[in-house]
Each structure stands twice: as C-alpha cells, then as structure tokens.
Structure 1
C-alpha cells in the first residue's frame, strides 16, 4: 500500500464509532473510489498496525469485517487482497479534497419531479403566542387519564396479543366504543364493522382519494376549501372543480349545474363548519346535497373536523346520519377534541367500502398504535372524553367571545368578521391597505404566530382574509396577541 493512502486514513480515537469500524469503512471507501482496486494486496495486519500506531487486534477486526462483507479475500500464505470479483474503478487523485462537490446525502443521483400540489406550507408554530388555524388547547387535554390507560395497555393482558399484530381496521375495542359514541352524539346508525381507525383525518382522506377516485374522475369541492383535500385529489389524478360558498355554505345549485355537464365521482364538503369560513351548510342545502348524490351517483366525503364545538345550539346532525343510500363517507378525528399530537382518526362507511379501504391501508401502514387506540377506547368508555368536551366547549365559547370583543375594541375598522357559531377560529378579513404577509412576519418577530392566509386567495383574487384561532390561547394570551397586532398596524 502506498504512503499517500496511509496519509488519507483519519482515525479518531475519541469518536463514538469504534476505531476498527472507522478503519474498515475508510478502506471500503478507497475500494469504491479507486485508490484500492480489485486483486490488490493489502499490508499485513502487523504492518498496518505499526504504520497507524494501532493494536494489531484492531486491524484484524477491521480486516475480518471487510472479509465478512465480501470486500476482501484472504489467501493462506499469500496475505489479504481486495476481492477479485469487484469491478474495476478508475484511480482518483489522492488529495485532501478527494470528496466530490456532489453530496448524495443532500441530492439523489436520480431524477424525480415534485408535483406543485405537494408544495404546501407546514404550520409549525413555536412562538409563545399564536392565533393558529384553529387548534385546541393541549393544556386542557386529559393527559393523566390517558397516561394511566396507556400504561395499563402496556402492562396488562396477554403480551403476545397486546404487543403483536392486530386488525388492519383498528383496535376492535375502539371501533366498538367509537360506534356507540358516534351513534349517541351524532345520530349515526353504525356498528364496529362500519368504522376504520386511521392516523388522523388526513390519512383517511388519502385512502378515500386513492381508493375511490381514479385518474380523470371529476371531483367537486367548495371554491375555498382545505388545501389537503385538493392535494389528495390532484395526487389521485382527478379533475377538480369548485363551486361558490356564501353565508349558507356550499352552493348546491351550482353543484347540480356541474353534475348536468360532468359525471362527478366525489364531492368534498365540511358542512358543519365550512373550512375556512366556518359557515354552516343550511338545512335545505344539506337535503339537496343528499338528493343530488343519489340522483347523480357521486360519493360525498363529509369531513366533520370540529363537530364537538358548536356554541349557539345543539349541533346539526351530520349528512351521514340522514344517508339512506350509502353514498356518504364520514371522517373525523380526536385532533380538535384532544390534541394534534395524538393521531387517532376514523372513517365511517358501508362495510364493503371499509373492508376495501382497510386492505388499501395495509400496504402503507400495517396497523395503527394499538396501545393508543385502546387507551382512547378506555377514555370513551369511562366518559372522560365526554366530560373533557363539555369543559372545553364552555371554555372555548368564553374565549371566542373574549377574542371577538378584543378584535372589535382594539382593531376596529381594520378588521371585519362574523362571530362564528362554532369551530375554533374566526374567519377574519383585514383592511386592503394591510399587507397580511408583512403583518404576519412582523408579528412573528414579536413572538406572535398567525398564518398570512395567502392560500385562501383564488386565481386573480386577493381576499386578505385568514383564520385566527382563539381556542389554544387563554384570555391573557389573546389580549397580548391582539395588542401586538394593534401596535404593528398602528405603526404602519
């Protein structure tokens, strides 16, 4: 072995990786890049140890590692050689800068295209204050009860069963408890066989879009809608159409006009509190939507993301509760009820569809977190979630009222909004002279996060609206947040 190669070996005795592995990996690198070539004889372990000032056993372990992996071969009486079956490599210049400028850890060697619909901002608010998209206050979550239930799932019962593989449809106990819960609170008529447990609504939506929508299918949503839905439809290759939204929700007459011209496969709707505007789909339009579904044969995906938080009266029953034709897929989760960190959601539909989607789910996620699912089942069975929701509803109503009053008194004519009848955010419009992107950037510099709302704008239309979430902040935090907005706006 020539001395330049010795000079390139850099062994760090303080590194966490054992020295023999460092040596083995660097020799392997030399074989790959060319300084060492197929059939070349290596120094004896004694010579290598003396040259590198290592214990001979260290070199022997490095050689044994490379022999086991097939990089080297040993011939009794002749020594150790680079394996002859390896392809020849072109010798590279031995310099301290032997590494190429190309970094495979950052850039793949093959080409691929990232579809534009996947380029969506990921909301990660780490600031002390936040007027988010409408998240719950995780400080209210029943974590003590959840912790006890999770621990119980880990320790009690048959370990082979509880720690092994389970049903791809989800923990049977949670499906049963959830069926009873949805039947009681939402007027559904389900059994456990009608429910598929998923890791949040977004996973359920992916399964529905992938499994029930084909390339070229026509899909309809509101003109302003959740970007995640549109992204899933586009990923499935669907042709996406939109209909207007007014103070009564989705325009179902406009929907029928599309149905008269196109064979619509699916309609995505958030009828209880339309996202992002929070308006409720009026009763007559609900009935018409179900009628149109039967008449034109399209699937309704009902995303009921915050059913539990309705402040003026009893929440309207979901479309799924009045579905007599099996046309509605109903999705929800515990994200808004408990916390986004706990990825437990559900799809509700006809048994044959649920069985099909469970098979589809299996190829991307064998099963969910059975421990967590059974822990949530215990929360439902014991009534903890019911009590938590009653408490949260009262607190969130108070926070909504406080926040709306702060917007009126502190920001005055700079904003306009309707007090939402439900949900965890206020759909807020700002005076056209206020640049929301600039406002959001300046607010973040002062420790307040809110979304600038640019994805709610349509082609050639700048709404200058955004969702300001109030539920995750207590009254003091809401006052501080609005105070920051007032200060920035007044200085503009």
Structure 2
C-alpha cells in the first residue's frame, strides 16, 4: 500500500462548519461511508493524527477523536509502533449501504478486435523448456554491465540529457554502431543511415507503416517468421509464400510471381532463414538483388542472429552490396547480453530514414539515452567483442552437444543439418508423429515445447529447437524427456 498521504481524503471528506453536527462526527461518518464503498479497503494504512488534521484543516484533537470513535465502532485498528489501519474484519454493513461499483468489465462502446494480433506465445512452469533460439543470460558479464551503467548514470552530462526527449538516440552510440557494422558486416554507412529502436518487431512495424498499404503484396518464405507476418498483415498487406529449400528462398519462384503481379516487398532472413536455419546461397542473393532492381520491390533483410556464427566464414548482408537503395536492413544489437541491454536498429538510405524518425518520435519519444551511451562505450572499449567471443565458444559447444544428443536419441527417425551459426537447429521427423500431442505429453514430464516451434502439415513434420539457453546438463535432461515421450507414444 502506498503512503497514506497520497490518499485523496478531501475528495470524499467535506467539513461543513455551519452544520449542527460535530466536526469529528462529520469526518467519522464520511470515512465510514468511504470504507463501505471500498475507497479505503481493509489493511489501508491511515495517516497519523497530526497529518490527518493538517490534510483536513482541523485541530489535532479532532483527528484524535475521529480515530477513537472509528476504533470503538470497529472500523479501524490501532497497532502499537505501526500505525492506524482500516480493520481487516469490518463491521456488518448496514442494510442498503452502498458498496463500491467494480471497474467495468466491458467498454460502453464498440471497437474493432484483432484475432491476427493474438499473443501466440505460451508460458509454463516446467523445469525444462525449448525455445526458438534464445541466448543464455547466465553467460552475461553482469559486473561489466553494471560497471558501465553505473558510471554513465553518475555523469552529469548524461543526467542533463535524461531531461530531454530524444527519440533520435545517442549520436555517440550511432557513431560507434555505424563503425561496428562497417567492420563486422561490411555496411559502409553513416549515422544518417541508422535508426535505433527497441526491437526488431518495432523496426518492422515502422517500416510497414511507411511502406505498405492495403492489399500490397508481401512475399515471404514458407515456412517463415510468423511474428513478421503478423506485422505485415496488420497493415492490410497480402502475404504470398514461396518455397525455401537447401539454398534458401526460391528466387525462381519469386521471378514467376513477379511476372504475374506487382510485388511491393520481399522479406528475407538470408543469413539463417527462420525457422529452417539454411543460408541463402550466393547465386540466389545476386538474383534477388537483380529482381528487386528489375521489378522495383523492396527487400527487407532481417539479420536476426548475425552475431552468432561459428565457422568464421560469414556471408555478408545483402545490404552490403546494394548500391541501388533497394534493401532495408533490420538487425539486433547486444543480443548476447541481458534483455535490458539489447536494442534493435534499421539501416536504410537517408531519405527513408528521415521519415522513419518521424514515426519513432510518435511511438518512442523518450528513448533510452543512458543505455545507448553504455552500449557505445562497450563497443569502443571492446567489451562487446570480448563478451561475444567468450559466449560463442560456449554456444558452439552447446550446439554440438544438442546435435550429438539428437543423433543418439533418435537415430534416423529425425534428420537435421548442424547450423553454421545461430542458436537453434531445424529437425525434420522421418517417422510419423503428432507433434502437438508430443508437446502435450512432454509437458507432463517437465519439458515444455511451445506450439510456435512445431511445423506440421501433409508434407512436413519438423521442429525448431533452440540450444543457446540450455547448458549441457539441461540439454541432456530435455532430450531424455523428449525421447521417453516419443517412445511411449510409439508403443501405444
């Protein structure tokens, strides 16, 4: 319960000094009425007599008399060395006494409901959980993060900046991030090409609001990223799917689609396609860029896990070789850190960036200038590089542990390709299995497999299995439960 001084007593207590009723009894009756209506629920701490008298502009003796009367009637409890509280057990309400009206369960007006935006994510209390590829915050160098953050909070220059509305972000952070992206991803950009957002979803939302209109055609891979599809569809755009094979998005199928209709946007995750983890081959990358120039569609390149790569031979983003301004690059920074230290960003030509900043100013006017200063320093001083290098060794070991465990547990009943990067692998079942039932039965044994990881139709039975958030022991236990559940289902 908050401070008793914050209770608006004057909103329900009005003293009439011309009335024949004693002032203290006026206050008593109005307080009882407030208790009956629920404005002062049981357990609420009341102010002391001195504070109450000052609030109501009365003599302190009046406040003392009020509390004595309320206590005698059983409405309040006076606890030694603690204070005065509304009684936990109230006297029986008088017949016909008014009680507080509960807050309305439904609006008194109509509005459009969206089934499209229903939260697809599930939550559980199971000890073991599969994700679609999330980092392990236990690997975060907490001492480093707290040190950087603490020093930035103490700087007077940063405290002054916190008084400003600065949705455009820290110029220092953008300078450091631009340099980081240039060296690590071949993006030869300036701060004029950068937008700092809270997440990849916010980035896609802003892009969609500016570039998509009702019935615009957006092409995505199948299977694809359901979260991104939700954002596109909310604008009224139509989603068209094309196949994804071992070379990534089928650009020949895209060409055939372009011949039949005007494509406005193509959404791709070329480094590791979501969810199958395959990389878009070099020839298809070139063809995709050529098709964009020829047919005029926008490429939105989502590089959601670029930092997590193990073979030291990364394919540079499409945006790094785009000299025609056809690619909008969406990424995440600090994904290996604790959630509060992560941020999203967009790279695009400067003319589009100006428009995106207008939208960011509406939905995130305040920004987080201190956090951006922290991340900028972590780039400049090499802390991000050191942390990522340490965590990559751990994640690679976990990838190998998961791959070995799946092979031992299921043999040829399940196939997968060990990914060259990312924090998840794509496993295809070669043996008939109802994945939804598998998920339900595994949950009973303590392993939670969200529905969003399951891909099953007439042609496909597959799962996206994250390994980054699990240590070797947790991987072993999770696979033990999965194998046991699968075996028991086959025995029935």
Aligned twin of 2:313 = 314
- Which runs of 5 or more structure 2 residues have no equivalent in the other structure? 33-48, 59-93
Aligned twin of 2:26 = 48
Asked if structure 2 preserves the Cα contact closer than 8 Å seen for 1:248 and 1:281, the reply is: yes
Asked if structure 2 preserves the Cα contact closer than 8 Å seen for 1:453 and 1:466, the reply is: no
Asked if structure 1 preserves the Cα contact closer than 8 Å seen for 2:153 and 2:159, the reply is: no
Q: 1:388 to 1:159 in 2, by over 3 A?
A: closer
Return the alpha-carbon distance in structure 2 between the equivalents of residues 99 and 166 of structure 1: 40
Q: Deviations over 1:395-440 (max 9, x none)?
A: 2121111111100101224422222222111112235543322322
Report deviation, 1:61: 5.3
TM normalised by structure 1 equals: 0.80
Aligned twin of 2:151 = 152
Report deviation, 1:341: 3.9
Report 1:252-291 matches (<5 A): 252-291=251-290
Return the alpha-carbon distance in structure 2 between the equivalents of residues 461 and 454 of structure 1: 17
Return the alpha-carbon distance in structure 2 between the equivalents of residues 181 and 149 of structure 1: 18
Report deviation, 1:217: 1.5
Q: 1:43 to 1:437 in 2, by over 3 A?
A: farther
Question: Is 1:401 the counterpart of 2:379 in the alignment?
Answer: no
Bigger drift between 175-184 and 445-454 goes to: 445-454
Asked if structure 2 preserves the Cα contact closer than 8 Å seen for 1:310 and 1:421, the reply is: yes
* Equivalent of residue 478 in structure 1, options 453, 463, 475: 475
Question: Is 1:466 the counterpart of 2:444 in the alignment?
Answer: no
Asked if structure 1 preserves the Cα contact closer than 8 Å seen for 2:167 and 2:365, the reply is: yes
Q: 1:113 to 1:343 in 2, by over 3 A?
A: farther
Return the alpha-carbon distance in structure 1 between the equivalents of residues 174 and 109 of structure 2: 43
Asked if structure 1 preserves the Cα contact closer than 8 Å seen for 2:193 and 2:347, the reply is: yes
Instruction: Report the number of matched residues.
Output: 434
TM normalised by structure 2 equals: 0.80
Report 1:218-237 matches (<5 A): 218-237=217-236
CA RMSD of aligned residues (A): 3.0
Q: Deviations over 1:58-81 (max 9, x none)?
A: 6995799xxxxxxxxxxxxxxxxx
Asked if structure 2 preserves the Cα contact closer than 8 Å seen for 1:45 and 1:60, the reply is: no
Q: 1:367 to 1:295 in 2, by over 3 A?
A: farther
Asked if structure 2 preserves the Cα contact closer than 8 Å seen for 1:179 and 1:190, the reply is: yes
Question: Is 1:487 the counterpart of 2:484 in the alignment?
Answer: yes
Asked if structure 1 preserves the Cα contact closer than 8 Å seen for 2:436 and 2:454, the reply is: no
Q: 1:27 to 1:48 in 2, by over 3 A?
A: closer
Aligned twin of 1:178 = 177
Q: Classify the secondary structure of the residue corresponding to 1:374.
A: helix
Aligned twin of 1:351 = 350
- Which runs of 5 or more structure 1 residues have no equivalent in the other structure? 1-14, 29-40, 65-92
Asked if structure 2 preserves the Cα contact closer than 8 Å seen for 1:222 and 1:250, the reply is: yes
Return the alpha-carbon distance in structure 1 between the equivalents of residues 31 and 339 of structure 2: 55
Return the alpha-carbon distance in structure 2 between the equivalents of residues 350 and 205 of structure 1: 16
Report deviation, 1:479: 0.7
Q: 1:488 to 1:24 in 2, by over 3 A?
A: farther
Question: Is 1:216 the counterpart of 2:215 in the alignment?
Answer: yes
Return the alpha-carbon distance in structure 1 between the equivalents of residues 382 and 50 of structure 2: 67
Aligned twin of 2:106 = 107
Aligned twin of 1:370 = 369
Return the alpha-carbon distance in structure 2 between the equivalents of residues 350 and 400 of structure 1: 37
Aligned twin of 1:141 = 140
Return the alpha-carbon distance in structure 1 between the equivalents of residues 57 and 437 of structure 2: 60
Q: 1:157 to 1:48 in 2, by over 3 A?
A: closer
Q: Deviations over 1:319-359 (max 9, x none)?
A: 00010101111011135332444341111111111121011
Asked if structure 2 preserves the Cα contact closer than 8 Å seen for 1:436 and 1:453, the reply is: no
Aligned twin of 1:116 = 115
Q: Deviations over 1:63-104 (max 9, x none)?
A: 99xxxxxxxxxxxxxxxxxxxxxxxxxxxx97468566x751
Q: 1:292 to 1:168 in 2, by over 3 A?
A: same
Aligned twin of 1:89 = none
Bigger drift between 378-387 and 49-58 goes to: 49-58
Report deviation, 1:218: 1.4
Bigger drift between 297-306 and 113-122 goes to: 113-122
Question: Is 1:449 the counterpart of 2:454 in the alignment?
Answer: no
Q: Classify the secondary structure of the residue corresponding to 1:220.
A: strand
Q: Deviations over 1:183-226 (max 9, x none)?
A: 10111111111111110111111111111112222111112211
Q: Classify the secondary structure of the residue corresponding to 2:363.
A: coil
Q: Deviations over 1:142-197 (max 9, x none)?
A: 32222111111111142553322254332111111111111101111111111111
Asked if structure 1 preserves the Cα contact closer than 8 Å seen for 2:427 and 2:463, the reply is: yes
